[in-house]
Structure 1
Amino acid sequence: MSGLRNNRDYRLLWTGQVVSEAGFSTTMIAFPLVVLAITGSGVQSGLVVGAVAIAQLAAGLPAGAFADRWSRKRIMLGCEAAQAIAAAVLVLALWSDVAGVGLLVAVAVVMGVCRALFEPAEEASLPLLVKPEEVPSAVSLNAARTSAGQLSGTALGGFLFSFGRFVPFVFDIVAHLFAFVSLWFVRLPVRRATASRPPAHLGREIAEGLGWVWRQPRLRVTTFCVVSLNLFFSAYYLVIIVLANGRGMPSGEIGVMAAMLGAGGVLGALAAPVLYRKVSPYLLIAGVFWALTVLTPLAIFVHSGYLMGLLFAGIAFLPPAANTAIGTYQLLNTPDELRGRLGGVLGVTGGLAAAFGPALGGWLVEALPGSAAVLACAGAIAVVTVFTTFNPTLRGLPATSEPLEAEPTGK
């Protein structure tokens, strides 16, 4: 990663975003606490937190098209500024004791839309900021950044809330302003004009992005792998938490389990570039799924929260390597004029998996005894493992970037 350490622009982007991620995670912890303090309603707390995810999903596909149509740096700067302004409005309302659920929902929607816009713009910019051989390291470091920001922000949110309802949002303002300034100094290369025609209708541009992903077998299969991994892992996580609670594990041990899950993800993201250089993408993806197939059923036999935390850490250590292989292939083999829309498609499919995963886990623990629910998740992962092992398209995934034959995006 020495090349990235010497890459001034990537360092600025990465540093700003790890702080921004911490600010966002702080806000996500503070939102339900504020709503409970104002209304005492758990339902309304869920409404505010859910508004972020709903807005992000609704804006995902258009956001990808905008990332291909507009200046990506300006999109990212606008998102950081908008989030800082929204948090400032909320701070003033809380300070004046006039904040209501409606305002909290509006701020949550702004944050969800900004995340939907920012992510494809940033992902599409990576191949312009770093050398092709450094893309795997950049992809994995971005994953580590997200995990580190979530860990620190989650811990900080509750602590800051104890000093006042508005204090976590003050930190969020500072975080987004810091990220804005960092982004301002990033020298993102000017993109070459990809077509002489004016921008198409937004719906047509979105359809082009969806069509691109669907027509490329390797993009289609690797996207399925990522969605499956996110869906079943998020379901498995909820099943284990319910199982641990049912076995009478203290809440402190359950908290340690969650922290070790996050720590395993950070370490896995840091190790992912090394694994990517030593193992072919196909073996890396299939190997991760096989390891998860073996490890996930072990939770049935673990009754200690600390041992379960170690199991969680081991499980979380693995997916970043597969995600790095998949993300690198997808970025390097998608034309620049379509990378934003690729990011929009991946953001929406990943968001749907993250939303449906806990719902699936909740249904499993209601319908099945704890151990059977664990085995159901493990069985589903095993089915995907067999698919990845014998899928000819995935087996043909090249070890190095191999350009795809792009179909024209305009008629």
Structure 2
Amino acid sequence: MATGTDERQTVRKRGLAPLLASTGVSVTGDGIFAAAAPLLAASLTRNPVAVSAVSAAGYAAWFLVGLPAGALVDRWHRRAVMITADLARFVVLGVLALLLVTGHATVGLLIVAVFLVGVGACFFEPAAQAAVPAIVGRDKSALSRANGKVWALDTFGRSLAGPPIGAALFAAVAALPFGLDAVSFLVSAVLLIGLPAGRAESAATEPILSAVRNGVRYLVRSAELRTLSLGMAAYNFGYNVAFATLVLFAEDVLHLGNIGYGALIATAAVGGILGGWLGPRVGQHISARRVYAVALLVQGGAWALMLFGNPWVAGVALAVVGIASTTVSVVGGSARQLLTPDNMLGRVTAATRLLGIGSAGVGAMVGGAIAHAGTLHTPLIVAPILLAVLSVVFGLRSSTT
């Protein structure tokens, strides 16, 4: 006879399965989009600032709607939020595909589309992050394992399966990768129907601005959460300084074509999948703050390897970046979920994303400006120096908090 504990575990596994299935489908579409969008931008213009603006557009959405979206997630049913966000992104990408087919696509319209997809993420990601502890509980080991699976799928689809498909489809017909990504969001929405229709334990009823302030205040007053948010911001900033114009570096310096660029990006998933396995184990023995300090330094060293100008060395470097990125995502995300009460998870996640993803957008624009002022090598010189300094600063801050 099954015990109450066994029944709860079965329910949690069943609840996690739709989320994992949805993640696997939608992030593969995201990987297709991640490869195709910069390729489309590069085909429309060779201006590094314009190309980097495409990368920055998705992050810019968090500056405008990230915080109120988190507050709304804390009062709405999480499953409904995720399904609605998926359907909205299905429409946006479907329209972009049609514009490409009819020959009306421009860099400006691409930036708008990327921005609107980012708005959808502002709602989807806090809801998904809040759903994980609601499904698997708040045991540190179980939560870390669940996050490891989510992030391993994320890196597999976003960096391994998706980019080569996106690059190959773009080389064949420019509209295909965007249409396929639209379909992936539609399939994801259907899969999420099986997710438990949960909402915050104590859904907020206060005015949105007040709810936002309370969420930000909770984050700022928690030394641990504040430090983790700064770690994410530092990591994402350095990453995007180097990555924003990588498509131009791959084409003009590494002499890779569209498919070669997709394969290059895919190597990050090799390390990312390992990071999904490694993260839960590292988190059991090392504090999240220490993990961030080490990951910043590791990422900087990896970008420096790119300067050799060898595609094989570049592939190894991106694999190392993948290990570091997924590890900090698993460890940092699990720590944040454990430190935050259920009725605050949407707002705290959104506030953390605002800082982390917002800094990524700034990093992308800085990377584009640096490449425009110097050469395509310049971001890969500046980023390692910045990351080394940030690692030292963050390590010192961690030791005093």
Normalized against structure 2, the TM-score is what?
0.80
The aligned counterpart of 1:277 is 284
Letter in 2 for 1:324: V
The aligned counterpart of 1:334 is 340
Matches within 5 A, 1:12-161: 12-27=18-33, 52-88=58-94, 97=102, 108-132=114-138, 133=140, 134-151=142-159, 152-161=161-170
From 266, 272, 284, the equivalent of 1:265 is 272
Change (3 A) 1:324 1:64: same
Q: Any conservation in 2 of the 1:17–1:179 contact (CA below 8 Å)?
A: yes
Change (3 A) 1:257 1:182: closer
Deviation at 1:136?
1.6
After TM superposition, the structure 1 stretch with the greater mean CA deviation from structure 2, 218-227 or 172-181, is: 172-181
Q: Any conservation in 2 of the 1:12–1:185 contact (CA below 8 Å)?
A: yes
The aligned counterpart of 2:255 is 250
Letter in 1 for 2:357: G
After TM superposition, the structure 1 stretch with the greater mean CA deviation from structure 2, 264-273 or 340-349, is: 264-273
After TM superposition, the structure 1 stretch with the greater mean CA deviation from structure 2, 159-168 or 337-346, is: 159-168
Which runs of no fewer than 5 residues in structure 2 stay unpaired? 1-8
- What SS does the corresponding residue of 1:70 show, helix, strand or coil? coil
Deviation at 1:84?
2.9
- What SS does the corresponding residue of 1:318 show, helix, strand or coil? helix
Change (3 A) 1:10 1:29: same
Q: Any conservation in 1 of the 2:55–2:361 contact (CA below 8 Å)?
A: no
Q: Any conservation in 2 of the 1:32–1:48 contact (CA below 8 Å)?
A: yes
- What SS does the corresponding residue of 2:206 show, helix, strand or coil? coil
Q: Any conservation in 1 of the 2:276–2:327 contact (CA below 8 Å)?
A: yes
Residue 306 (1) aligns with residue 315 (2):
no
Which runs of no fewer than 5 residues in structure 1 stay unpaired? 398-411
Q: Any conservation in 1 of the 2:70–2:347 contact (CA below 8 Å)?
A: yes
Give the Cα–Cα distance (whole angstroms) in 1 for the partners of residues 245 and 157 of structure 2.
Answer: 25
The structure whose Rg is larger is 1
Give the Cα–Cα distance (whole angstroms) in 2 for the partners of residues 334 and 83 of structure 1.
Answer: 29
Change (3 A) 1:223 1:238: same
C-alpha RMSD of the superposition: 3.8
The aligned counterpart of 2:202 is 193
Deviation at 1:147?
2.2
How many residue pairs get matched? Answer: 385
From 168, 172, 184, the equivalent of 1:175 is 184
Letter in 1 for 2:317: L
Give the Cα–Cα distance (whole angstroms) in 1 for the partners of residues 368 and 38 of structure 2.
Answer: 20
- What SS does the corresponding residue of 1:69 show, helix, strand or coil? coil
Deviation at 1:347?
2.0
Give the Cα–Cα distance (whole angstroms) in 2 for the partners of residues 79 and 175 of structure 1.
Answer: 13
Give the Cα–Cα distance (whole angstroms) in 1 for the partners of residues 200 and 283 of structure 2.
Answer: 28
Give the Cα–Cα distance (whole angstroms) in 1 for the partners of residues 183 and 202 of structure 2.
Answer: 36
- What SS does the corresponding residue of 1:251 show, helix, strand or coil? coil
Residue 7 (1) aligns with residue 16 (2):
no
Letter in 2 for 1:332: L
Change (3 A) 1:22 1:233: same
Q: Any conservation in 2 of the 1:239–1:364 contact (CA below 8 Å)?
A: no
After TM superposition, the structure 1 stretch with the greater mean CA deviation from structure 2, 366-375 or 140-149, is: 366-375
* Amino-acid identity (%): 23
Give the Cα–Cα distance (whole angstroms) in 2 for the partners of residues 233 and 92 of structure 1.
Answer: 32
The aligned counterpart of 2:217 is 211
Q: Any conservation in 2 of the 1:240–1:374 contact (CA below 8 Å)?
A: no
The aligned counterpart of 2:390 is 384
After TM superposition, the structure 1 stretch with the greater mean CA deviation from structure 2, 74-83 or 60-69, is: 74-83
Residue 318 (1) aligns with residue 324 (2):
yes
Letter in 2 for 1:74: A
Normalized against structure 1, the TM-score is what?
0.78
Letter in 1 for 2:64: A
1:99-131 alpha-carbon deviations (Å, 9 max, x no partner): 666987775554332111111111111110113
